Structure 1
Amino acid sequence: MDKLWDVDWSPPDQADARVVLSGRLTLDSITELDNALTGRRPAGFGLAIDLKGVTGIDTAGAWAVNGLVQRWNEAGVPAQLEGAAPDVERLVGALIVRPLRVVRRARGNPIIDRLERIGRAVTAQAKNVASFVGFLGEVLVVLAQTLIGRRRLRGHAVIHQAEAIGVSALGIVGLLLFLVGLVVAQQGAVQLRQFGADIFTVNLIGRATTRELGILLTAIMVAGRSGSAFAAQIGSMKLNQEIDALRTIGLDPIEVLVIPRVIAASLMMLGLAFYGIVCALIAGGLFVWAELDMPPGAYLLRLQEVIPLSDFVIGMVKAPVFGFIIALMGCFHGFNVTGNAESVGNSTTQAVVESIFVVIVFDALFAFFFSFLGYN
């Protein structure tokens, strides 16, 4: 059976190569056609592909012609089509794949690039701080108006948030502080035993948990548990345009969403901190009873002697402040949610991290402040 196509290459001694294609360039003979087109290596100053005699072509034939064009172009020998019917030229042209241009960014000065990134980060943080200060001022104004009766206090919302923040957290906070009390007692006893000062283990347990650890660890637990919940809840409401709906019907989102959470977190932190301190002291008492043979009655009397009233008061002063900070940070990042669900996750993470950071900073400031006042 005679083949339905023909490939005629020009003599190799010519400066410009030329190939004449004729007949039907179809899938039926694509293998032989491709071998005929690739049988000659690129040479000369150019290649002319004469398609005047092509009577039929399909996608396979167009790919074969396109491959010929690409091979010669990549070798630095320009190839062009001649005499093709409009339909043939359109099909071959549609399949031509042009090489991608890779644009490489010129490498700049690494020191300048680093300074530029630092500058962007500082600018972003400055904007974040300015936004937070504005949010804080708005919350304080609404809170003051609520406390003096100029705005409505939503008691049911406060009770609901108090249950979520405080009552639901009793188990995890109690367990955490109980274990911390055991660890502090055990490590303190091991170290003090070297100096024959086992009795001072009670001093370590009492003062460390009452003034610092009990309050701080409770705040960290509430930040991870409730601060993240505030950011996620308010962020989801913003994505669903529920906050815009509140404004549309004449309700202030700060009054409806933020104030109940701030009040509930401040009050519940006070109760949770006291509860956590008691759990830590109970754990310490059990340890010294088992290891140091100190009965519970003697342990309680010793606690009364070594824990000044100022330590308890300082702890109870810090607790509502920490609760206020945690609720404020969670709500602030919830209102900052934009775009999509990924933003909710990012804002939730930022709320937890920044809440813990700010709580620790304020704890250090309280320590220096009360030390300056003489309450060491």
Structure 2
Amino acid sequence: MSGSTENADATGSLQGVRVVELGQLIAGPFCGQLLGDMGAEVAKVEPPESGDPMRAWGQGDKPTWWRVIARNKYSVAADLKTAEGQDLVRRLIAEADILIENFRPGTLEKWSLDPRDLMEMNPRLIVVRVSGYGQWGPYAARAGFGGIAEAMGGWRKIVGEPDRPPARMGVSIGDTLAATYGCMGALAALHERATSGKGQIVDVALYESVLQVMEGLIPEWAIAGHKRERTGSTLPGIAPSNVYSCSDGEFLIGANQDSVFARLCEAMGQADLATDERYRTHTARGKHQAELDALINAWTRRFTVAELETLMNEHGVPAGRILDAEDMLSDPHFAAREAIVMVDDAELGPVPMQGAFPKLSRTPSKIRRNAPRDVGQDTAEICRRWLGD
């Protein structure tokens, strides 16, 4: 996609759905981004003058993160600490389908925006509340950030090398997971509302969002007495599935399923490895993971990344290059599927960014509107269309 999006079409799966976004930084706004990409009309409420702190996040003299997380949104300026700002937001919420907020529990109530009162005013309202620990429980009042949730939810404990402190992922995964679950909950509530006619509260805790993707972490300990620890680039017992060395770089191979491992052995010219008792089964390969990785790594060193990629594709072995942003911008598959799109920005010119996913066949998600450049630039328009002011 290229060209200006300011006057793009208003189609999408959520066309006609109105969202008020009160959140800031990542967890709330990413939920709003997802809903906006699907076609919802998102009125993002920002503090006058300062705006969302996310406007200043990112690298370079003119940070671009805002262009992604605020796309498909309208900026409405309102000071939620004042009666005037609260009144404006309350009037917008009366016309909305979904409210998103990611403040510490009790903050909305302090601002005279108690969700119970808002839902009495607008019984069809769906309120997505994202917080560190959820709206109730002994930790509910604590300040919570995504990184803290990653630690509490088990993620940080198992990421990194075993002889080093826990590492972090290079993105704010705790926040974006919570935002994604918030979006999922909002969509489920919209579906249920079609029958009941009633809204509800979607209570999203950052730490629970992380916990949800921790696979067998809890039952493995409770039932098998196995406590996951940091294991670097490997997942214990899952082999071969690792990053291997080439003559000019690194390459990822995932051949841990029996038939796939057999195909890898054929590609290596060592078909007998697939019937070797040390490697014949999933369990056996897990027990001999280190020696199997060493054996494969010695073989991959003979090839360039391009040569190994061709060989793996020829034998149907899941494998791939480890890409960075520069690689992605020149990759033909990204281009063919419009995984990265170009958006014309009035200040920066063409800005490449990730497209809208997942892809729907009839009502595709897309970038229909640029991120608002100025704080409050759309206040008058939203008030006119939503409120008739």
TM (norm. structure 1) is 0.22
Structure with the larger RCO, 1 or 2 (CA within 8 Å, 6+ apart): 2
Which has the larger share of strand?
Answer: 2
TM (norm. structure 2) is 0.21
Larger radius of gyration: 1
